[in-house]
A and B are shown apart, each in its own frame.
Chain A
Amino acid sequence: MRLFAVGVTHRTAPIELRECVDFARTGVDSALLALTSNGVAREAVVLSTCNRAEIYAVADDDRAGEAVGRFIGDYHRVPWDRLAPHVFQHRGAEAADHLFRVAAGLDSLVVGEPQILGQVKDAFATANGLKQTGAVTHRLFNTAFTVGKRVRTETGLGEGAVSVSYAAIALAKKIFGDLTGLEVLILGAGEMAKLTGVHLRAQRVKGLTIASRTASSADALARQVNGRAVAWSQLPDALADADIVIGATGAPEPVLTRARVEETMRPRRSRPLFVIDIAVPRDVESAVGDLDQVFLYNIDDLRTIVKENLARRSAELDRAERIVTEEVARFATWMQSREILPTVVALRQRFEAIRRAELLRLEPKLAGLPPEARARIDEITHLIVEKLLLSPTEQLKSVTDEALMVSYSDAVNRLFGLASDDSAPAIDRRRGQKAS
C-alpha cells in the first residue's frame, strides 16, 4: 500500500497550465471514477481549487505516482511532455506532509487563508460520497482536518487582514460593529471608486452615495452599484449623513478640508466618522484626522497594517510548521504499522492452518474420546499457537524503521513459507475498512 500526492500547484505550474488541468471545469466525479476504474488507484481524492489540481491516491504499485501524473495529462488531453516538468510527486509521509501543509494554509498564495480547509473538506466529502475512499484516505484527511483546526486555534497564522480592502473593512467593523446599518459616501466615480463600491455593496451596507464633479459618471456608477448619486454642491449634506467616507477622486488637491469636515461634525455630535482616503494624490487633508470623532486612514496607513499583519503571520509560521511535523510523524507511524499487518495476519493464518490440519489428521485417533476431552485438546492447541505467536507479533508490530520492516517481513515470509503477496493486501483492506 503506497500513498501518493500528485498534481500541480501555483508553486509548480503557471496559470495557463493550471487552467488546462482544472478538474472543477470537467467535474471531479468523473475523474474520481476514472481513476479507480482503470486500476490506477485503490483510493483517491481529487482536490481542485484555482491554485491547485491535486490527486491523493492509494495504490499497491510503487510506480503508481507517475501513473497518476499521466492520468492527469490524459484526462485533460494535455501532452505528458508539456505537463511532466510541472507535476510534483510525493510519496508516503511526504504526501501526508504536503496535504497537511495545504490544509493548514501554509501552501496557499496568501499564507494562512482560511478557505482552503473548507475546500479540502469538500474534496474528501465528494470522494467519500462516491465511495472512492478507504482506510488510508480516511485517516489521512481526518488528520489533515485536525492539522487545519489546530493551526487555526493554536497559532495566529490566519489573523489580521492581509489585503488593503479587508483591512479597511476590518477597521470599519471595529468602529461600527456591524456594517449593515451604515451610510457610505464615495467621492469620485473612477475605477477605484467602482471597485470600492462593489466591495461595500457585497458587505450589505445600508446606503451607497456617489458624489462626483462629473454628474453623468456619478449617475452611471450609482446605477452599477445600486446607489444614489448626489451633485457635488450637495456634498455637505451627504457628508453629514455618512458614517464612512471614501476618497477616490482624481482631483489634484484635497477635496475634503478640515474646515469642511469640522462643519459637519458638530450636528453629528458623538457619531464617529471613518474616512478612508485611497486616492493618490490624497483627497483628504491630513488635519481632518485631528478632529475629535474622525478616524482618518489613507492608502499608506492601510498598506502598513497589511504589512504588519503579514509580518505577524510569518512569525507564526514556525509554530504551524511544528504542528504539521508532529502530525506527519504520527501519521507515518500509523502507516508503517499497517505495512507489517499483512505479514502478521498471514503468519497467524499459517499457524492456525497447521493446527487445524494436525487436528484433522488425528481425528480418527481422537474419535473415541469424550467431547469434553476433545474440546480440551482444541483449547490447548489453540493456546500453544497463541503463545508461540505472541512475541513475534509484538516484535513485528513494534518495528518502525522502513528498511528493517521490509527485511523482517521478507524473512518471516521465507521462514514460514507464507502465501504470495496478492492475498495479503486484500485481507488488509477488509480489516482496515472495518476499523475506519
Chain B
Amino acid sequence: MTIGSWLPAVLYTAAAAVYLANFARPKPGVGRAGTALLGAGVLAHTFLIGMQTVQAGYAPLVGTTAAVSAFVWLLGLAYLYIELSTDERAMGAFVAVLMAALAVLPALNPGVESRPPLLRSPLFTIHVLSLLFAYASFALAFVIGITYVLLFKEIKAKHLGFFYARLPSLQALDMMNARAIGVGWALLTAGVIVGAIWATQVHASPDPRAKAMSFADPKILLAVLCWAMYTFAFVARGAIGWSGRRAAWLSAIGFVIVLLNFLPVGYFLTRSHNF
C-alpha cells in the first residue's frame, strides 16, 4: 500500500521536472515524455482511488487529505484534457508543479478515513466531487491567468523573450481563462446548493458538526465569499468587459481563497467540515 500510495506523487514530481525542463528548453520528445509521465501518474492515481473505494466500500472523500488527493486527480484529468485538445504544453509546467506539491499530503497520510454516519448520503458525494472539480477548474484558470499576465508584461515592455516564445496568444489564454472560470463557477454553484440541501437534511443529526453548518463557520463563510468572487468574475467579463488582465487577477485572487479554504481552514479552523 505504501508504494502504491507514493507512486502518484513520485510520477507527478517526475512529470513536473520534465515539464519544467521542456519549458526551459522546448523539445518535442521531452514534451511528450512529460505528458506520458503525467498520464502515468493520473493512471496510477486512478488505480489507487479505485482500490481505496473497493476496500472501504465508499468513495475516499472523507477528510481534507482525501479531498486533496481527489482534487489533484481531477486537476490532472482536466489539464490532460486541455493539453490534448489544444496541443499546448506550456501551462503544464505550472500545473504539474502544483499537483506534485499537493500530492505529497495524501502520500504522507495514505489511510482511508472511516466514514461517519453523517456522510452516508449520495448528496455528500455529489457535493464534494462537484466542488473539487470546480477547484480544479479554478486552479487551471489561475495558472492560465498567471501566464496571461506574464506574457502581457513581456509584450507591453517590448522584451520579447521567454514567455513570448512559449505561450499561445493573449487572446487564446483569455478564452481558456473564461472557459475555466465558466465551468468552475457552474460546478461551484451546484456544489454549494447541493451542500446546503444536504445540510438542512442532516440538521437534526446528533453530530456536532451538523450543528456547526452555518455562515459563522469559516469554511462555509469562505466558500460563500469564493462563490461571490467567481460570480463577479463570471458576470463582469460580459457586463463590464473585465477580460484579459483583470480576469487574470480575479482568477488569481479567487484561487488563493480556494487554497486558503481548502488547506489551512480545512485542516485547522473549521468546525463543520473537520471529518
Q: Which residues of A are at the interface with B, using a C-beta cutoff of 8 A?
A: 153-154, 159-160, 171, 173-178, 268-272, 289, 293, 295, 297, 301, 304-305, 308
B204 at the interface (CB under 8 A from A): no
A295 to B171, CA, bound (A): 14
Which of A177, A269, A308 lies in contact with B171, CB distance below 8 A?
A177
Q: Which residue of A lies closest to B170 (CB)?
A: A175
- Contact A178–B171 (Cβ < 8 Å): yes
Q: Is the interface of B mostly helix, strand, loop or mixed?
A: helix
- Contact A270–B155 (Cβ < 8 Å): no
Residues of A within 8 A of B155 (CB): 171, 174-175, 295
Q: Which residue of B lies closest to A298 (CB)?
A: B158
B208 at the interface (CB under 8 A from A): no
- Contact B246–A177 (Cβ < 8 Å): no
Which residue among B160, B172, B240, B247 has the maximum number of chain A CB atoms within 10 Å of its CB? B160
Which of A174, A304, A305 lies in contact with B170, CB distance below 8 A?
A174
Q: Which residue of A lies closest to B243 (CB)?
A: A270
- Contact B165–A272 (Cβ < 8 Å): no
What are 21 A-B contacts defined by CB distance under 8 Å? A153-B28, A159-B165, A160-B165, A171-B155, A173-B169, A174-B151, A174-B170, A175-B155, A175-B170, A176-B170, A177-B172, A178-B169, A178-B171, A269-B242, A270-B246, A272-B170, A272-B244, A289-B156, A295-B155, A305-B158, A305-B160
A178 to B175, CA, bound (A): 13
A295 to B170, CA, bound (A): 12
A207 to chain B, nearest CB (A): 18
- Contact A301–B158 (Cβ < 8 Å): yes
Residues of A within 8 A of B168 (CB): 177
Which of B156, B172, B240 lies in contact with A269, CB distance below 8 A?
B240
B153 to chain A, nearest CB (A): 11
- Contact B156–A175 (Cβ < 8 Å): no
A171 to B246, CA, bound (A): 21
- Contact A270–B241 (Cβ < 8 Å): yes
Which of A176, A293, A297 lies in contact with B158, CB distance below 8 A?
A297
Residues of A within 8 A of B164 (CB): 174
Q: Which residues of B are at the interface with A, using a C-beta cutoff of 8 A?
A: 27-28, 151, 155-156, 158, 160, 164-165, 168-172, 240-247
Q: Which residue of B lies closest to A159 (CB)?
A: B165
A271 to B164, CA, bound (A): 20
A270 to B170, CA, bound (A): 12
Residues of B within 8 A of A293 (CB): 244
Q: Which residue of A lies closest to B172 (CB)?
A: A177
A113 to B215, CA, bound (A): 64
- Contact B246–A174 (Cβ < 8 Å): no
Residues of B within 8 A of A295 (CB): 155-156
- Contact B171–A175 (Cβ < 8 Å): yes
Residues of A within 8 A of B169 (CB): 173-178
Which residue among A176, A177, A305 has the maximum number of chain B CB atoms within 10 Å of its CB? A177
A270 to B240, CA, bound (A): 9
The 9 A-B residue pairs with the shortest CB-CB distance in the complex, in nearest-first order:
A269-B241, A177-B171, A177-B169, A270-B244, A270-B243, A270-B241, A177-B172, A176-B171, A301-B158
Q: Which residue of B lies closest to A172 (CB)?
A: B169
Q: Which residue of A lies closest to B28 (CB)?
A: A153
A165 to chain B, nearest CB (A): 16
A173 to B155, CA, bound (A): 12
B28 to chain A, nearest CB (A): 7
Q: Which residue of B lies closest to A181 (CB)?
A: B171
Residues of A within 8 A of B244 (CB): 270, 272, 293
Residues of B within 8 A of A175 (CB): 155, 169-171
- Contact B158–A271 (Cβ < 8 Å): no
Residues of B within 8 A of A297 (CB): 158
Q: Which residue of B lies closest to A171 (CB)?
A: B155
Q: Which residue of B lies closest to A153 (CB)?
A: B28
